Amino acid sequence: MSAQPTAVSATQQRAAAPAGISAGIERLEATELAAEIEFLTARARSLGSGRANRMLADLDLKVRSYSVLSLACSGENPSQRELADFLSLDPSQIVSLVDQLEKRGAVTREADPRDRRSKVITATAAGRRLYQEASAVVRESEARSLRALDEAERETLRGLLRRVAFDNGD
Amino acid sequence: MSAQPTAVSATQQRAAAPAGISAGIERLEATELAAEIEFLTARARSLGSGRANRMLADLDLKVRSYSVLSLACSGENPSQRELADFLSLDPSQIVSLVDQLEKRGAVTREADPRDRRSKVITATAAGRRLYQEASAVVRESEARSLRALDEAERETLRGLLRRVAFDNGD
DNA sequence: AATTAATAATTGACTTTCTCAATGATATAG
DNA sequence: CTATATCATTGAGAAAGTCAATTATTAATT
């Protein structure tokens, strides 16, 4: 599990950068805050989703809509409620995300025959094609965000985050 | 979330839960999306900061204001620009965060003598006391969010995230 | 030294996201 | 069959994010 060594430390990395460019903030990396996993998680996701959103803009998608599309393509036929739970969003946010994707013909919304209150979201053929493109973009974005880690480290990170993300107390 | 011993898999966890409660979403854990580090990061931070915000509400703080306060207590005397860069926020957001903390007497805002354009943010004695309390709350929150990981795993995660958070491409 | 260009904080406008309560349709429990 | 719960939906209001313009100050150029 602990594949930490390898790679260059963030400090070494930044020391190599042209002084004064991203200046100032490395001083703050020695603070208590910078040691908090929650802070690091927040910063990593802010940078990562910022980049992904910029790169997905070509396809008229954001990380949010991409995520819904991805699950719609999964074959698991999620309901909107499940999408909300899984993506940590309010059900009303899912409504508008699905609205947009449905409007552009990427997904369909059908009443679940076993519980007609809930709507099953499924990708159309066009939606699956869009997902193929978007997925490549997201992989590229992720690769850039994770450039500091080698493949083994990425696997370690994935495993740890998975447990935090899905066994998150109370 | 009653201290789960060590590393129980998320799947085992949920399987043990009363069927139907958090039902449905474990089905989605097998999807491609659920394997994306960026997604896992986003979910982990959403759950984590949600919990931290709820727990900090007693102290009239949010993760945001707590983070500013923490850096103000660091001894590094950050400027607002540095806070913005470090916290991935717009400078105008820092203005209002500092406004609030200043209004309650937790921090001061002083022109930097070496560059009077920038304002140095420093915690007051009251601010440091507040930070002591808040810091304990945040540690407790973090402990709950990370209950799935043992101490060594947390260190590994911290190290990996630190590199992602501070060597984030381009 | 005078002018020009850049940077920090601030304000304000605007957009997007979040949070919640209410509603109608359907399902489940008593 | 009545009461209760759940799902999707709508809409309102709060919070957060984005961006351009302004002022004060500093740095760079002539």
Tell me the pLDDT tens digit for each residue of A20-61.
335 567 899 999 999 999 999 999 999 999 999 999 999 999
pLDDT at B106 over 80: yes
Contact list in B for residue A142 (CB cut-off 8 A) is: 36-38
The answer to whether residue B54 sits within a structural domain is no
The helix/strand/coil state of B123 is strand
**B162 CA vs D23 C1’ separation (Å):** 37
**What is chain A's mean pLDDT, rounded?**
88
Q: Which two tokens stand for residue A7?
A: 């790679």
The answer to whether residue B77 sits within a structural domain is yes
The answer to whether residue A3 sits within a structural domain is no
Contact list in A for residue B14 (CB cut-off 8 A) is: 166-167
Q: Choose between B145 and B24: higher pLDDT.
A: B145
The answer to whether residue A11 sits within a structural domain is no
The answer to whether residue A169 sits within a structural domain is no
**A59 CA vs C20 C1’ separation (Å):** 32
CB of B22 within 8 Å of a chain A CB? The answer is yes
Total domains present in chain A? 1
pLDDT at B159 over 50: yes
The helix/strand/coil state of A37 is helix
Q: Which amino acid is at B38?
A: E
Look up the protein residue whose alpha carbon has the minimum distance to the C1' of D18. Answer: B90
pLDDT at B40 over 90: yes
Q: Any residues with CB less than 8 A from the CB of B135 and at least 6 apart, and which?
A: A32, B70
CB of B161 within 8 Å of a chain A CB? The answer is yes
Name which of B48, B145, B164 is nearest A145 (Cβ-Cβ): B164
**What is chain B's mean pLDDT, rounded?**
88
A–B interface: beta-carbon pairs under 8 A: 252
DSSP per residue over B19-71, as a string?
A: TTSSTTHHHHTTSSGGG-HHHHHHHHHHHHHHHHHHHHGGGT--HHHHHHHHH
Q: Which domain holds residue B103?
A: 61-140
Report which DSSP code applies to A7.
S
The answer to whether residue B109 sits within a structural domain is yes
Report which DSSP code applies to B79.
B
Give the domain CATH number at A48: 1.10.10.10
